Amino acid sequence: MTKILVATDGSDGADRAVDYAANLAKVLNDELLIVNVACGIPAPLFRHLTSRQNAWIRETENAMSAEILSKARARARSQGCGKVLLDSGSGDVVKTIIKIAQDKGVRTIIVGKRGAGRVKGLLLGSVSQKLVSLAPCPVVVVP
């Protein structure tokens, strides 16, 4: 069984990517792997926080990721996609997506054109642009 990976951050663009990926997985009878990557607080800032603050931030990130993944799974299932897997990571978004794709042996990576990042005005978001350049498999960017 092959897999299609769709990365989501819960944004409108990511929702469109989930819809597209779910329909493609259904047609191709592939498993759909929905991934969320929490980019979190840069490491140098963590050094200035207490262990309790660090733990709270990580718990919050995990809860937010779980909520994003749960909503994306429901969205994919509403499109008729029955084979849905979830995965999450943290750190550099592009590197993490590529690592998960390699580890899970995915056929294709699907992402939205722009996510919930700070620079929403760009025609192609930095994550999607980097994935197109660096991914070891085809990348579909959904407008």
Per-residue model confidence (pLDDT) at position 42: 67
Residue 119 pLDDT grade (very low, low, confident, very high; cuts 50, 70, 90): very low
Residue 27 has pLDDT above 70, yes or no: yes
Q: How many domains does the chain have?
A: 1
Specify the higher pLDDT residue, 45 or 60. Answer: 60
Residue 118 pLDDT grade (very low, low, confident, very high; cuts 50, 70, 90): very low
Each residue of 74-87: b (16+ CB within 10 Å) or e?
ebbeebebebbebb
% of the chain at pLDDT higher than 70: 88
User: Can you say how many angstroms the Cα of residue 101 is from the centroid of all Cα atoms in its chain?
Assistant: 11
84-108: pLDDT as tens digits: 999 999 889 999 999 999 999 999 9
Per-residue model confidence (pLDDT) at position 116: 55
Calculate helix-pair angle for 12-28, 51-78, nearest 10 degrees.
Answer: 50
Residue 81 pLDDT grade (very low, low, confident, very high; cuts 50, 70, 90): very high
Question: In 3-state terms, what secondary structure has residue 89?
Answer: strand
Residue 77 pLDDT grade (very low, low, confident, very high; cuts 50, 70, 90): very high
- Which CATH number do you get for residue 111? 3.40.50.620
Q: How many angstroms separate the CA atoms of 100 and 105, rounded?
A: 8
Residue 69 has pLDDT above 80, yes or no: yes
Which residue segment(s) compose the domain that 54 sits in?
Answer: 3-142
